[in-house]
Amino acid sequence: MRKQNWPKRDPIKNYFPLPNEIYALGLSSTAIAVYGYLLHREDRKTYQCLASYRMIGEAIGKCTNTVRKYVMELEERGLIRTERTTITTQDGRRQNGCLLYTILPIQMAIDQFYERQMCAAEVAAERQRVEQRRAAYEQKRGETVC
């Protein structure tokens, strides 16, 4: 057998980084696909990209309503920020353009995620304390009635 000479891959060319932390945020697979596509399209200097819901949907194989839902999820999680754009047609009319996506630093989203988890844990602990107090009060009340 002859030795196969595979072409060497440039580690930076034709690739984009997807942060490992994205998998710890509890995102759905479609949200990760949308985020990955936006990272693929972003300008590495401005951290922004222009894309329509239809363009994203065609790239990841989902309909525009589904893409809209997951873009909103990414915004709520603090991974991206969107801004509306307008275009001017040749006859001078202004129309809505694509959304301008800004990819936010992943550390902000991670901090926000952990902060939400801590708040949820505090609420659960407070709920448990109230339930214990209520049970003790009802037990005490039951003893005095008999």
pLDDT tens track for 97-144 = 889 999 998 888 888 888 988 999 999 999 999 999 999 888 888 776
What H or E segment, with its residue span, contains residue 48?
Answer: strand 48-51
Contact 31, 73 (CB under 8 A): yes
Q: How crowded is residue 75: how many other Cβ atoms within 10 Å of its Cβ?
A: 14
pTM over 0.95? The answer is no
Contact 16, 39 (CB under 8 A): yes
pLDDT tens track for 33-83? 999 999 999 888 898 999 999 999 999 999 999 999 999 999 999 999 999
Paired with 99 in beta bridges are 51, 84
